[in-house]
Amino acid sequence: MKNMNLKAAIEPINVLLSQKCPETFNSSWILKHAPSCYRYIQKHIRSKTGAIDWDRETQALQKKHQRRWVPKRKLIKSSPYWNQDEVNNVLKSYQEKLHVFIVFGNQDDRYIWITIGIRLVRLAQRGNLSAKHEIMKFVGYTVDEWIEQSSCLYRWKRYDVEVKKLIEGCILRYRYTGSFLNYVYRTLEYAARGVQPSYVYSLDKPLGLHSSKLKIENVIRDSETGKMCFYRSTF
């Protein structure tokens, strides 16, 4: 199909998915129902390793269709290895845009935010420990901002170890569901419902406005639970 670009190739697929409503679809479904679109994707939408970049294709779909995508083959994780060159190959086009993991100002920044995240996750899933280290670092910046700004995620404050484990789990489980960073956000949001918020108290402050005693003087250990708590008089 002449003069086609990614947007023009994706739009017929969006229409067909809305019309036919398959529970799932993959590259074979696209080849069968939209062969000209498939041929364009096969020829032009390629990753730097030479394979068809289905991540880029699914990102361009309407969100309601993204979760239906099921790749023909599962990612095969190799033995863990370190390869910083693979990571640098992903990042070299975006060196001036890495600030997007802290703050982004427009849709172009958001697209880069999504693209870098997914590409590093794919490398990490193949066993590249350098990529895992890098995505953990970048996503950590974003998550720190979320925790400070979001009332839903604020209860994760001071739960650094638990947050790290959740991010690692997201890297392992992520497939083709749109933005990886949105996936991390939703995971943290749902898991936060069972998290007890942590509070910071200064034990060097007075017990009350009219008391000369400090809070530290009123701390006791519960003989049954072994936990530290404030002594409360029953009188």
**Per-residue pLDDT reduced to its tens digit, 147-175:** 988 888 888 888 899 999 999 999 998 88
Q: Which one of 43-52, 69-78, 96-105, 209-218 scores highest in mean pLDDT? A: 43-52
Comparing 27 with 202, the larger pLDDT belongs to 27
**Alpha-carbon span 180 to 123, nearest angstrom:** 13
In 34-159, alpha helices (H): 35-44, 54-60, 63-66, 84-91, 107-125, 129-149
Give the Cα separation of 187 and 189 in Å (integer): 5
Whole-model pTM? 0.66
Reported as a pLDDT band with limits 50, 70 and 90, residue 232 is low
* Tens-digit pLDDT profile for residues 74-83: 555 568 999 9
Give me the pLDDT at residue 95, please: 77
Only one residue has tokens 């009123």, namely 218
pLDDT digits (tens, 9 = 90+) for 100-127: 777 666 777 777 888 888 889 989 998 9
